[in-house]
Amino acid sequence: MEKLWNDFSVGLFFWQTLIFVALVVLLAKYAWKPILTAVKEREAKIKDALEAAENAKLEMAKLKSQNEDMRREALAERDALLKQAKETKDQIVAESKTAAKVEADKIITAAREEIKAEKVAAMLEIKNQVAALSIEIAEKIVKEQLQSDDKQKALVDNLIEDVNLN
Amino acid sequence: MELKKIGLFVGILLAFFTGFASGHEAPAADATKAEKQMYVDGVKKHHLHDDHYFTIMHGVSIPLPVIIFDGGVKFFMSTGFVEDEHGHVIAESGGEYYTISHDNGMIYKCDEHGHIHRDEEGKLEGRVLDFSITKNVVIILLMSVFLFFFFKKMAERYGQSAVPQKSASFFEPIIVFIRDDIAIPNIGKNYEKYMGYLLTVFFFVWFLNLAGLTPFGVSVTNNIAVTASLAILTFLITSFTANKHYWGHIFWMPGVPKPMRVVLAPIELLGIFIKPFSLMIRLFANMTAGHIVIMSIIGLMYTVDKGGFAIAAGPSALLTFVLSLLELLVAALQAYIFTMLSALYFGSANEEPHHH
């Protein structure tokens, strides 16, 4: 202990303390603070970046599953639409078939009736013509037979006879 | 690059051996064993003690200012110390004579023949308050200037790039280690205000320890005044930032019977002084021991007889090399321990009361 005190230089102690305290203050301000701040900032940045990457990964997975869902939905919708379209088509085809059939039947029926009416009209005309012809023919024949007075007299007699009989 | 490093390393090693003899005339080959031993002891003392000259290499010394308080401030350059014909180093200032003791390298008042007054027990008397800019002060100052500009430059590079550049790629892991493995586990959430001190003390001690391994005799951390200063700063910071819980634990220990509290208080009070004291002694003793061991092994070459030199040189050099490697580890280890224990003490001052 005495040896220690014997070797102890107060001057050196003083200068060492003075220089060292100054060094601590200067280094803390101009070196350690900026370095530690930079290191801390970098660490925070790395941490943030890692977290952001992790979040992005999760987001990606979420988006992927969302996309998958959307795709599946779209597919289902497409199928439904196609099915519906097919149904509509079938329905339309069936409906038009029925409609066409009804129309055709209507036309056919109308045609038949027309034909019938025409036929009746034609028969009537034929009948009239036949009657007119028959009268003409009969007139001609009568005219021929009644050209002489004898024949007229015979006819009258004949007719009177008929009447008497009645 | 690799070759350059090896070259530098070899250069430092060579300089170690040549530097060993700096400032001392090696004893002649026919010198007695006692003379040789005296020479080696002298070198050891010279390397461990402070000096009023800044010796770069043998023959190249820069005189440093001497500032002493002895009934007023006295200022003169160390060239004022002149060796007289009897080998006494004497300086004259304001009609008073001063000399440098061979025992501890301190400045004492003396008579005009360089004799220091001794008391009845033979202890030296008349030591003056010496505030000289000594070799160690110069080294501390140079190292501090270097550390400041080195780390300032490093900090400036952080503004330029997010990725650690150059020196930062080596030192940033160390800084982060001090933060994450020393400060945070020991101190807790209040660690930030201690980071400036912890980082500075770590690099200061480490770099000075490393400088002490160079052959230029710039060992500072093996000086008790330096380690005492660092330890006292740790003690002051602990005491001034301590919370109520810390002082409560010392003077009125919770959770023990009342009579025990009275017994424990002086022990705990003693503890707060023993802690920094152990810090001081640990660093001082470890660095001093390392230097003494290495120098003793090198000195072995000089103390053995003429023929023995050749035999002793090889193993001695090899052993010195291995021990130097060990000292390289010790340099970092002691810096780590000092920082770690400081953080531990700061942590105890910041502990939150937990429910017993």
C-alpha B65/C-alpha A68 separation (Å) is: 85
At how many degrees (to 10) do helices A33-145 and B167-177 cross? 100
Segment 170-199 of chain B within 8 Å of chain A by CB: 172, 175-176, 179, 192, 195-197, 199
Q: What is the DSSP string of B40-67?
A: HHHHHHHHHS--SEEEEETTEEEE-EEE
A59 CA: distance to closest CA in chain B (Å): 28
* pLDDT for res B64: 86
Q: Where are the domains of chain B?
A: 65-132, 137-349
Nearest-angstrom CA–CA distance, B198 and B183 = 8
A27 touches chain B (CB under 8 A): yes
Here the tokens at position B103 are 């025992």
Residue B182 DSSP symbol: I
A99/B contact by beta carbon, under 8 A:
no
Instruction: Please give the C-alpha separations between residue B265 and each of B236, B253, B256, B262, B273, in angstroms, as whole numbers.
Output: 20, 7, 12, 5, 13
Chain B residue closest in CA terms to A38: B158
**Rounded to whole angstroms, how far apart are CA atoms A44 and A47?**
5
ipTM entry: 0.83
Nearest residue of B to residue A8, measured between CA atoms: B225
* CA dist list (Å): B139 to A45, B19, B147: 41, 17, 12
- Residue B229 in contact with partner chain A when CB distance is under 8 A: yes
Q: Which uninterrupted H or E stretch holds B277?
A: helix B258-303
Are B234 and B296 contacting, i.e. CB atoms less than 8 angstroms apart? no
pLDDT of residue B17: 47
**For B226, which of A4, A16, A27 is closest by C-beta distance?**
A16
Task: Judge whether B133 is closer than 8 Å to chain A, CB to CB.
Answer: yes
Q: What is the pLDDT of residue B197?
A: 95
Q: Are B175 and A55 in contact (CB under 8 A)?
A: no
What mean pLDDT is reported for chain A?
Answer: 90
Distance of residue A23 Cα from the nearest chain B Cα, in angstroms: 6
| Residue A140 in contact with partner chain B when CB distance is under 8 A | no
Residue closest to B43 by CA, chosen among B61, B58, B62, B65: B58
Give the pLDDT confidence score for residue B202 in this predicted structure.
96
d(CA B239, CA B345): 9
Residue A122 banded pLDDT, cuts 50, 70, 90: very high
Q: In chain B, which residues have their Cβ closer than 8 Å to the Cβ of A31?
A: 148, 151-152, 154-155
Measured between CA atoms, how close is A17 to chain B, in angstroms? 6
pLDDT averaged per 10 residues in sequence order, chain B, 356 residues: 59 50 52 69 69 75 84 80 78 80 78 79 79 88 94 87 81 93 91 93 94 79 90 93 84 80 86 91 90 83 68 80 90 94 92 69
pLDDT of residue B5: 64
Mutate to test the interface with A, among B100, B104, B201, B205 (most CBs of A within 10 A): B104
Given CA atoms B329, B337, B137, A32 in this order, what sign does their dihedral have?
positive
Check: CB of residue B183 under 8 Å from CB of residue B194: yes
Nearest chain B residue to A43 by CA distance is: B162
Quick one: DSSP state of residue B119?
A: -
* Among candidate residues B167, B53, B112, the one with its CA nearest the CA of residue A35: B167
Q: State the DSSP code for B115.
A: P
How confident is the model at residue B23, as a pLDDT?
Answer: 42
Rg of chain B over all Cα atoms, to the nearest angstrom: 24
What does the alpha-carbon distance between residue A96 and residue A101 come to, in Å, rounded to a whole number?
8
> Would you call B225 and A9 a contact, using CB atoms and an 8 Å cutoff?
yes
Q: Taking the CB of residue B311, how many other CB atoms lie within 10 A of it?
A: 12
Measured between beta carbons, the chain A residues lying within 8 angstroms of B158 are 34-35, 38
* Chain B nearest C-alpha distance from A20 (Å): 7
Structure tokens at B64: 């440093």
Q: Write out chain A residues lying below 8 Å of B204, CB-based.
A: 20, 23
